[in-house]
Structure 1
């Protein structure tokens, strides 16, 4: 039979073993948890990162390569990743070492330089194709390249001035041999302009019209092109506005000009056949002359800018036979005392007003001015 003190010693030892087992098990769980929480990796994709080329720029000219690439960054350190992702705090560069690259076309490996050791990077694409040539500078005459709209819209080119007329182009030796033209490409212009004035970068073209690589920025030239706009003559119609006085049956309008010249692009001229002149006849009881400005807008130019209109009222009950006085005669009759406001010529009824440039109008109607002079005008009494 065991003694009591031996039994207590065994129980204490067993309890100590269980305590140690629980302690190491708990610490192991904590360490595993800490390792899991510390293994999180953050990612960031950066786009359009410039590629830096290392080569002798005084001796060689490089072309044909991708100037910008994408970079995928990853790190367990979020703060460091943010620093490299931000353009203002970024330390790394994507570089291509061309110091040992031979003349001609080669494929070059890209690498990341200056990146924090806490961050890893993967470049997309991993390589670029470059063409290396000996650097040369030659002089070329410049010619203006007009936009296609100049011809299609009917413009006539009067004069082209380019300053400077000759420029120096820096490029590769083989590329320079392929240059057949150096142009100053002009952009489209607004309608109804009579001159183009633009400062543009020149472009070098080969025999097929393809753009060749030259030093950037390219030389600039100032181009001035004097143009003559297409023109045509259009008729004038009267669009009376306002309210005539009591007793006026209609008006006869005599225009100092029967037609005017408009200048603009072909597409604008094709849709204009007549121009309406708004004439206010409010309170006109006797022959009146008005200078009317020809309506226009930014799409076309009109000449002359204004004409003189003689407004002759014809009262109810007077003789309608008359002779045309001067210029174009237009008679407008009304069924009521109120006149409509100006209506576009395409929407006006044909009976609202008529314009005639022949003597047929003079054989039918007379002006109120002639009637008053002959004493034949009669005004209804109130």
Structure 2
């Protein structure tokens, strides 16, 4: 044993063993315990930083009775902490930046923004962190809605907008008294470009101050229905009544009175300028055997948008037929060239008798001069010709002639 202790190699081995034991003991004592608090975030190898931008600011106050202005819409939030928590916060944005105004009085205040629902292992700072807000009493007032016409200059020629109809015609504005007092107009806009008939639109309400600036106020409703009648060019026209069929034998028309006596037509100016009257209003006499009122549709001329009225009422009065005779009525010639001579062969006198038929009140005042007999000699060459005798006379009569045709001779002047 003494020999071993006196051996230099043995002593060296023992010394080395003791040194190793001491080293192990020191490292075991300095090793972190599993129950020790974690290393501060600033010293943690997994700590990180990030900024979450445009985080909305939530305000808490008595929204039923108060109005708050000056609250910034969004802020930036600077976060620092464990990477996993930081990543989650950035992706979910499940924390809230808010201003608690519940205990503040009416007036202007500087308020520090706060944050909640943030993970405990994250630190945060808000930019800006303080805002200036104004708390005012909420005021509600009704305003009439005006209509702005857009592109009115792009309507077709002659078309003009009439008084617009807004439903509802007033809206309710809620805001601070200061904003309410600044309201100059409440408007709904309607585009009239190329409009040719009534325009129906849903239009959003916009609130303006006297300088034309849009005011941020609460509006109810936010959208209204607007109807704008478009007045198109128009023209009042007479119309021609076409008689079809014949009355029952022994009856004559005493009077035909339409109501109204003119039709208003609507359409483009270039179409209206060409119209002088409306044709095609038809009355079927074969269906009339007594005084009656009939309703007749008015035909719409080509190119016309609409007419007013679309139907006419026509009062037709009938009476027992009476007869009146006129003798030796002169037969006039029309359409004869000045270089031609005319000779009546049959009848030689160039006259004939005519009978007219009609209601008593119609024929009683008709004179001989009111009845015109004529023959049309246009485009006839020299020689003898049989031509039809035609009659012109007042309305609501019929007639019969002694001879329907006459024989004439045309010759060139010598």
Q: If the length of structure 1 is used for normalisation, what is the TM-score? A: 0.49
Q: With CA pairs under 8 Å and 6+ residues apart, which has the higher RCO, 1 or 2? A: 1
The normalised TM-score by structure 2 is: 0.46
Looking at secondary structure, tell me which structure has more strand per residue: 2
Larger radius of gyration: 2
